[in-house]
Amino acid sequence: MKSLKTNIYFKVGTIFFIGLLLLIPTSMIENLIYERESTQKEAINEVSSKWANEQTLSGPFISIPYDKYIKEYSKKDSTTKVVKVKEFIHILPNELKITGKINPEQRNRGIYQIVVYNSKITISGKFKNFNSSEYDIPEKDIIFNKAQFTLGINDLRGIEKQINLNWNDKSYSFNPGVISDDIVKSGMNAQIEINPTDNSYSSFSFEIDLKGSQILYFTPVGKTTDVTIESSWKTPSFNGAFLPDSRKVTDSGFKANWNILHLNRNYPQTWTNNTYNISNSSFGIDLILPVGNYQKTYRSIRYAILFIVFTFIVFFFIEILNKIFIHPIQYILVGIALIVFYSLLLSLSEHLKFDVSFIISALATLLLIAGYVKAILKSTPLMYLISGILLILYTFIFVIIQLEDFALLIGSIGIFIILGLVMYFSRKIDWYNLNISEENEEKK
């Protein structure tokens, strides 16, 4: 047993094995982070399902049905007959202007916060008069009196009040549903009058009170689309196919404006049936919460192996340079304390701000390890040495988490410096002639 105790290769192998074992609880905490994040998403989905989900306003557009005659061959009696089927012409507006105000609210489900909103949106614009010569369709087959003005809405439960369409100074009531799912699957429609002989533009306008959860998107269906949205939310994220042409974000909220041309998207102003998909051009606002505790905790635990390896290297050098013996069980206890830090961080960050949680967890772990080192090594200088090194490591990780854009650069530089320090302090060690505690054992 004495030979194993002083055998440097046995010691290195034991430390390496302990380090590998500690990766198991590290992996378990990573899984716990994913589990808690999934629970948060479930809470968000639960609240959204009762309030209203994320909303995308697709349109408005006009759908005009027409009769199409096709030949159908019957194998049963070897005859051919002509069958009438209904298809649709879809027309997008020449001008589209959207203005709106979002009123956000924070709801709680257990310990989780969810963002929902009420919005008041005004939509107006103009349609170019229908020209049947643009289509290879006989005008007699086009059913003008069944034309539908359609607006796609993801979740109709978000509609707060009855909506009336002002079409050429006439009022029409919207009805739920869509007459064709060529462009949208869910929405509302109003049957309007179209005069094919009228060459003037048709104007429209309506207001909609819409509620939803976290996201509000729009589609640039106009030949020119102008969208202006304002809100009291302080931390918006502008996402989708287009970013705002101008935006202003202050402590009192934000205001953003998009101006998009039909040349900026990959579909025309008119087509038949389901030839084109407009959903890929959607853009808008994500009312994100100004915290990402689970993402930050996950990012910090990715450096757990660095903590374990560097702490164990320091302990190993203390053994070699000070001719003392640290038992493998003591390595294990210190390693577990380093892993428990992440469990503390995860649990505290669900109730406190992440930065505060990190500081509390780091200080608690430092005090625990410092007290244990003082007890087993009976040396105040060594206790300060270990505590100082861990403090530097925790500060290093904290800085990396804050600087997301420069995390790779700072992390690479930090690891390079750590490697340089290890090489510097180990430069004079004779690795071929090492005894860990031989002198101490002889004195006993």
Q: Using H for helix, E for strand and C for coil, what is the string for 85-129?
A: EEEEEEECCCEEEEEEEEEEEEEEECCEEEEEEEEEEEEEEEECC
In this structure, are 231 and 370 located in the same domain?
no
Task: Show the tokens assigned to 439.
Answer: 């002198």
- Residue-range definition of the domain harbouring residue 93: 56-290
For residues 229-243, give the mean pLDDT: 92
State how far the Cα of 81 lies from the Cα of 99, in Å rounded to an integer.
52
Of the candidates 287, 317, 50, 90, which has an alpha carbon nearest to the alpha carbon of residue 189?
90
pLDDT digits (tens, 9 = 90+) for 80-115: 777 788 889 999 999 999 999 999 988 877 777 788
Does residue 50 form part of some domain?
A: no
Say how many domains are in the chain: 2
pLDDT digits (tens, 9 = 90+) for 333-374: 989 999 999 999 988 888 888 889 899 999 999 999 999 988
In this structure, are 281 and 309 located in the same domain?
no
Does residue 48 form part of some domain?
A: no
Looking at residue 140, its amino acid is K
pLDDT digits (tens, 9 = 90+) for 304-316: 888 888 888 888 8
Contact yes or no for 51/361 (Cβ under 8 A): no
Alpha carbon separation from 56 to 200, 215, 281, 282 (Å, rounded)? 30, 8, 11, 8
In this structure, are 242 and 228 located in the same domain?
yes
Does residue 68 form part of some domain?
A: yes
Does residue 46 form part of some domain?
A: no
Bridge partners (DSSP) listed for residue 84: 69
pLDDT digits (tens, 9 = 90+) for 269-321: 999 888 899 999 999 999 877 656 787 888 888 888 888 888 888 888 887 77
Radius of gyration for the alpha carbons in the chain, expressed in angstroms and rounded: 34
State the pLDDT at residue 441.
44
Does residue 348 form part of some domain?
A: yes
In this structure, are 275 and 140 located in the same domain?
yes
Does residue 333 form part of some domain?
A: yes
